[in-house]
Structure 1
């Protein structure tokens, strides 16, 4: 039995942070970082049957062209992903009455719809990138027994290429769901490895008033290549989503609207349009994924 201190429930039986009960969450889930982006997606829904919010975690469930979908804002960073992924899995795969894992587990399908900055000059702003793998520089996943889901050869190559300071922890690499990648791919979409950092400024090579431990970070990131795959973009959630999804037995894919190009120093003139295009593309692909 899972102790009350480990799986915390609210008085109404909802899980602690997400403020939702098992019947409130669909099997197909879209993650966004910004809580204001939840309505940017559900505005296209036919119906919205459930709404809740606690802190930065805003959740809405409804139907789009007959398919039940849930949209959740995760907030920023891998620490928040740890909360959202574990509570989502608990909602589907733990019996809240007995506090025991269910015998038959439900596989979730999780699509991250996010914004990101490109590390490659040939990936322009307003384009879309599928993250074939997440390269985590954040250490969060190292709290779990994770060796079986890692691509350790790519990790070793990255450590050697960047001369990574292991005082910052060993980077980890987790690949996306192959099934979702095939379904969401198209000729117009770029693909590559997405680096996930634990912060926005120093961890992503930004300089304001503090000296960086590695002032060549972005150059070494953009020049890294493994089996013809390059690091395409840098953000703060993908590797954590891929890692926990793989460990828990779920399918996950990160879809990134490129709003900045770090190599060219450019930013989208209309980032909202770029994000909206990605939202509509994602919804149509989810509808055609399969029928429950």
Structure 2
């Protein structure tokens, strides 16, 4: 096998991976991803100890321990393009030998858990609701650049979505579908609601928010999505990272789950009165599940 070139597997002079400025010893098997760099410290302040702190651009990383569990929390910034960087570079840290530039024979599996904020679509999901994504539906094009294979349940959801949109009006893009890791979905906070998460390539137009620019798919089309159902699931929320996290994790042999607190209810036009408080409740819930050994 030919070594991966230095133009593709890029390391800094200190041996850290290019964008994240992180070395292999600073990476735990359990990785919590957040969008906001400031949220990293809001999580790591609950750790019993912190052994690694790095930052470069929007990518801030703290690694430490909560009880006997070693955890990395890293900010991805906003969007699936940044998820592409974070997941690929973390995978490279543990699965590519920096000396030979060859993939390691024995692959290491990471567990990714997104700890994020989101906008809710269903009327009964009020701001402050914490929910878990059973599926991520990508309205971006990131995974179209990868040679992936969906499983049967993902293909069934894709077909259901296409049938729904053929009746209500076509999407401006061809979506892709990936599921959360089944074992994580079964064990993590089973009392929390599950839903289908739409991952959008923007906050305004792609989510039907119109300020001054005319839209192809406006708020009415977005709100109509609340009527889609697949088996016992509905489209629950919009955000900007989950589908790529699920897709790349599946492609590279990792596990992934996404847990979001809803700050807005699009159908009612309401927004959380205290977003910081809602985020802290989410963080504590996630850490509680980790401490209980459910992830």
**Is 1:286 the counterpart of 2:276 in the alignment?**
no
User: For the Cα contact (< 8 Å) 1:62–1:68, is it kept in 2?
Assistant: yes
- Cα offset for 1:57? 0.4
CA separation in 2, counterparts of 1:221 and 1:236?
17
Counterpart among 91, 107, 110 of residue 109 in structure 2: 107
1:99-157 alpha-carbon deviations (Å, 9 max, x no partner): 11111111111110000010000111111110000011001111001133571221122
Q: Residues 178 and 262 (structure 1 numbering): CA distance in 2 closer, same or farther, change over 3 Å?
A: same
Worse-superposed segment, 141-150 or 244-253? 141-150
What is the TM-score when the length of structure 1 is the normalising length?
0.95
Secondary structure of the residue aligned to 2:8 is coil
Secondary structure of the residue aligned to 2:234 is strand
Worse-superposed segment, 42-51 or 152-161? 152-161
CA separation in 2, counterparts of 1:285 and 1:146?
31
User: For the Cα contact (< 8 Å) 1:134–1:174, is it kept in 2?
Assistant: yes
Q: Which residue of 2 aligns with 1:58?
A: 60
User: For the Cα contact (< 8 Å) 1:183–1:289, is it kept in 2?
Assistant: no
User: For the Cα contact (< 8 Å) 1:193–1:231, is it kept in 2?
Assistant: yes
- Cα offset for 1:165? 4.0
CA separation in 2, counterparts of 1:53 and 1:183?
32
User: For the Cα contact (< 8 Å) 1:162–1:220, is it kept in 2?
Assistant: no
Q: Which residue of 2 aligns with 1:146?
A: 148
1:218-277 alpha-carbon deviations (Å, 9 max, x no partner): 123211111121000000000000000011111110000111111111111111111111
CA separation in 1, counterparts of 2:224 and 2:94?
41
CA root-mean-square deviation: 1.5
Q: Which residue of 2 aligns with 1:39?
A: 41
Q: Which residue of 2 aligns with 1:22?
A: 24
- Cα offset for 1:284? 2.0
CA separation in 2, counterparts of 1:35 and 1:9?
22
1:167-210 alpha-carbon deviations (Å, 9 max, x no partner): x43101100011111221232x1111000001110000000111
Q: Residues 161 and 78 (structure 1 numbering): CA distance in 2 closer, same or farther, change over 3 Å?
A: same
**Is 1:237 the counterpart of 2:241 in the alignment?**
yes
Q: Which residue of 2 aligns with 1:136?
A: 138
Q: Which residue of 1 aligns with 2:211?
A: 208
User: For the Cα contact (< 8 Å) 2:133–2:197, is it kept in 1?
Assistant: yes
Counterpart among 188, 199, 205 of residue 184 in structure 1: 188
Worse-superposed segment, 275-284 or 27-36? 275-284
1:55-104 alpha-carbon deviations (Å, 9 max, x no partner): 00000101111211000000000000000000010011111111111111
